[in-house]
A = this chain, B = another copy of it.
Amino acid sequence: MLEPLFHVLSRYESLSLHEEERLRKTILFDREVFADQDIVKAGSEPDRSSLLLSGFAARYKLLENGSRQITSLHVAGDFIDLHAFLLKKMDHGIMAISDCRIAYAQHAELEKITEEEPHLTRLLWLNTLVDGAIHREWIVAMGRRSKKAHLAHLLCELFVRLKTVKLTKGQSFTLPLSQATLSDVLGLSTVHMNRVIQALRQDGVIRWSNQQVEILQWDRLAEIAEFDMTYLRLELAER
C-alpha cells in the first residue's frame, strides 16, 4: 500500500528495511476522498499529515474575487501536507481532483521519527524540498515562459513524476483535470487555456482527449518547454 511512497523516497536515497517498517508503523488509517472534496481545509491546524495513495490532488488558494490559483499538483506517493507538521497552520487548502485514497501519519509520530531516525528525517525533509524546487520551476514558468511553453513544461513534469510511480503506459498517462482546473494551474482563463492546448495539438507533439495525454514527440515537447529535470532530483544519491 505504501509502495508509491517508497518509490518516491527511494528515488532520492535508498530506504533501509528498518525505515520502511518504521513508515509502515507510522502511516495508518486510509480513507477515500471523492473528487472536488477538500482533503485539508485552509486555516486548519491538523495533527496529522496526509499521504496520497492514489488519485490526483491540488493545493490551492482562493482570492476574494472568487478566483482560484492552484499552487501544486499531487499524485500517488506524495506527502501532500507534510509541511503542516512544522508549519502547524494550513495557509492554503488541499482538494481531491479525482477520487483519492489517503493515509495518515500523526504529527506526534513524525516528531518521534525526527528524534530517533535522522536519516529518514532527512529523506522526509528532502521530500518537502523537492516540493519547493517544483514551486520555483512553476514561478519561472508563470513569469517568463510563453503559455504554450508553460503547459509543455507542466506535461513534461507530470510525465516524469508519474513515471517514477509507474502511472504511465508508454508515452501516455491519465490526467483527470478539466480544462477549467488546468486554467487555475496556469493562471489563465478557460477560453485561453483551451487555445493553448490546441496550439500544442496543432504542433503535433501531444494527443489529448478523455483525460488521456499521449506525448507524441517527447524531444520537441521538452524543447518547447526548455525542460531540464534536474530540479526533480531523480538521480539516486548514496546515503
Chain A interfacial positions (CB closer than 8 Å to B): 43, 59, 61, 63-64, 67-69, 71-72, 83, 86-89, 91-92, 111, 114-115, 118, 121-122, 125-126, 128-133, 135-140, 142-145, 184, 186-187, 226, 228, 230-231, 233, 237
Query: What residues of B have a CB within 8 angstroms of the CB of A88 in the complex?
Result: 233, 237
A132 x B139 contact (CB < 8 A):
no
Query: What residues of B have a CB within 8 angstroms of the CB of A121 in the complex?
Result: 114, 118, 121
A139 x B140 contact (CB < 8 A):
no
A143 x B87 contact (CB < 8 A):
no
Query: What residues of B have a CB within 8 angstroms of the CB of A184 in the complex?
Result: 143
Query: What residues of B have a CB within 8 angstroms of the CB of A133 in the complex?
Result: 83, 87, 91
User: What 5 A-B pairs are tightest by C-beta distance, nearest first?
Assistant: A143-B187, A135-B135, A91-B231, A142-B142, A132-B132
Query: What residues of B have a CB within 8 angstroms of the CB of A136 in the complex?
Result: 59, 61, 71-72, 91-92, 135
